[in-house]
Structure 1
Amino acid sequence: SAETAGVSAEGTISQRVDLSFTTTTSQGKYQFYGGATMDGSPLQAGRLIYAVVDDQVRGQITVTSPGQYAAQYGPYLEVPVSAGDLGKTIRFQTDSGAEAEQTQLIVSGLLVAKSLTFSSKPSVAADFTATPLQGAGPLSVKFTDRSSGSPKSYYWDFGDGSTSTDRNPLHIYINDGVYSVGLVTGYWNGQSKTVVKQNYISVGAVSPPNAQVGLNPGWNFISTPKMLADGMNNAKALFGRIDVGGHSIFSYNPRSKSWTTVGPTTVINPLDAVWIYTTKKDTVYLYFAGDALQIPPTKKLIKGWNTFGVTSLNTVPAYNALLSIRDRWVYVIGYDSGTQRFQNTIMNVPESAQGSLYPGFGYWIYMSEEGDLAAIGL
């Protein structure tokens, strides 16, 4: 409080007392100092600590001494505040996105000793719910953000080619199908978090996928073991939601001995094999055609190197899978996406030809002369 003196009309001295009390100036600042730990150990030197108000960075400091972000006599982690910040909260985060257990309620600009305890467990994560999850089309679905860490931006991929940047969008699915939905959230420190819920929305009378092919980070050499349903057999339907990291999808043309880019409308048939890159573990879902009287496809293989896929839902010896060209193939080589290396060569000799071929995998095959490879197991 403040006191001021004055003279009354009667000439006596009176005191006028100003009882107003301001908890924060129009422009002040907090100055923090103290220790910092990550998972119970001293926070390493060189790490950044941010002070955040309303998801905006108000201050930052570089840890110069392990376990201590600022000394008692400075330099401090300074956070400017104003009268409009009264009652808000200061949060503390590292450059890795870990958030401290401690916070600071803004009441005035002060010098504050505060130890900060961080955990390396993800403090921010993307998540959402939706309702309804299934129904006849056109189906109106309300998506609700459940992400932690107060994202500043949202990017939704509804799986049908439509997107949104709203926090809680409403989307209408027109066509029957099973749709995977993805959400990418962006944060003040440049981080982003992604969640994809596979086969999340079902529109119309659509069954779950019949099979799936797992993808590992890096290059994958894959195939489909059976004929796929119309509309679910093109590259967009199969691979449209895969994060390929800017890479094209390829197939091999043995006649020109060159690579062909697989376009969105390219139909993937049994016996075909494609190379696809993914930035993370993922899954390709397969919906088989319902016609039990499918005509088994064949694939023309020329002399030299070709590619093919296994048309069986079970592991099968190379000798059985290649029975239609039994005297014409020489070598078969698979690719292990887990190690990003080619597998051991299978040769067309009795002791080697019993080597296993796996459904969903793609293979290289060397032919001594031209032949027609027939599908099996369809």
Structure 2
Amino acid sequence: PGLYVQWDKNTEEDLYDGEGSFIEEEAYYGLPYLVFISDCKPLCIEDMKLALPVSFIYETEDGKSLFMNIGEYDGKPLVYGKDYWVAVIALDRAGNYDESFSMCGPVRTYEDMSISLDAGWNLKSVPKRLLTSNADACSVFGESSTVIYWNGTCWEFPTNIEPCKGYWVYTPEASMSNVKFKPMSTDSTTPDVPASLNLAPGWQMVGHTSTMPVQWYQSMGSLQGLMGVEYKFSNIITYSHNEGWGGTISLGFIDLLSEGEPDETPYPVGVLKSEGFMVPGQGYWIFMKEKGTYASVESVDFYPEGEIPYPAAIE
């Protein structure tokens, strides 16, 4: 993860002018600023470590500020869900700084994902549990959107958006939103349990549970039947504004042997039909032949008995 930091430029006349260097890190060569970070509340700069940017330190378009994304410190990468304290100091030509500098914290890093919506109807999902403050339907899909979910019996208007579920989302205009995922618990007494969803026979709405494209037989591995030689569903279809309906897969042996990477262009119908991939943020309809529990891909033990499903078992 990266932690975004932005600060205003210092206008003091005796600001360090780039002659010589007070720090060995290349990212700060010639700059009169240093960024420090700590994972516990510090009392002074000496309690903090020099922060290293993911790539470079950049100037804003108006030229009044600088910004960077902190990638690591003290030889360690940042951790999702952890609190940090950040400070920026400006150096004069002698390498001195004002000890009354300001500090920001605690701030926290989050894993996130962008969700794009086309004008009209969209079939969407989220791959992981969201932050409580970020989980309501308006925060995820926008205030002007209408969100509905088929629970297997009737339609409902969800208050919060959950992983494993697929959602119909209507928006009058194309838009993009950003969602932040809930970090994993660091408390061993209350460990996180992977998301799951109980499904009854018939058509059901589900979502993809990974932030990466995953082939359907892995993503849907929790719906394998006894001994891993059949599936509890018979079809997967999806929808996108540009492609319409499609992507029905045969659940056959050839699908299981297909390899390769999905097309970088986000065409969820096409990549499901031609390459067997389910993609992040997309929702799907599946037809359940019998009841089952759909679980996050992180909790799936693929083919526990070493068996690969064969066509006759997954008609």
Which of the pair has the greater relative contact order for Cα pairs under 8 Å at 6+ separation? Answer: 2
**TM-score after normalising by structure 1:** 0.41
Q: Would you tell me which structure has more helix in proportion to its own residues?
A: 2
Q: Would you tell me which structure has more strand in proportion to its own residues?
A: 1
**TM-score after normalising by structure 2:** 0.49
Larger radius of gyration: 1
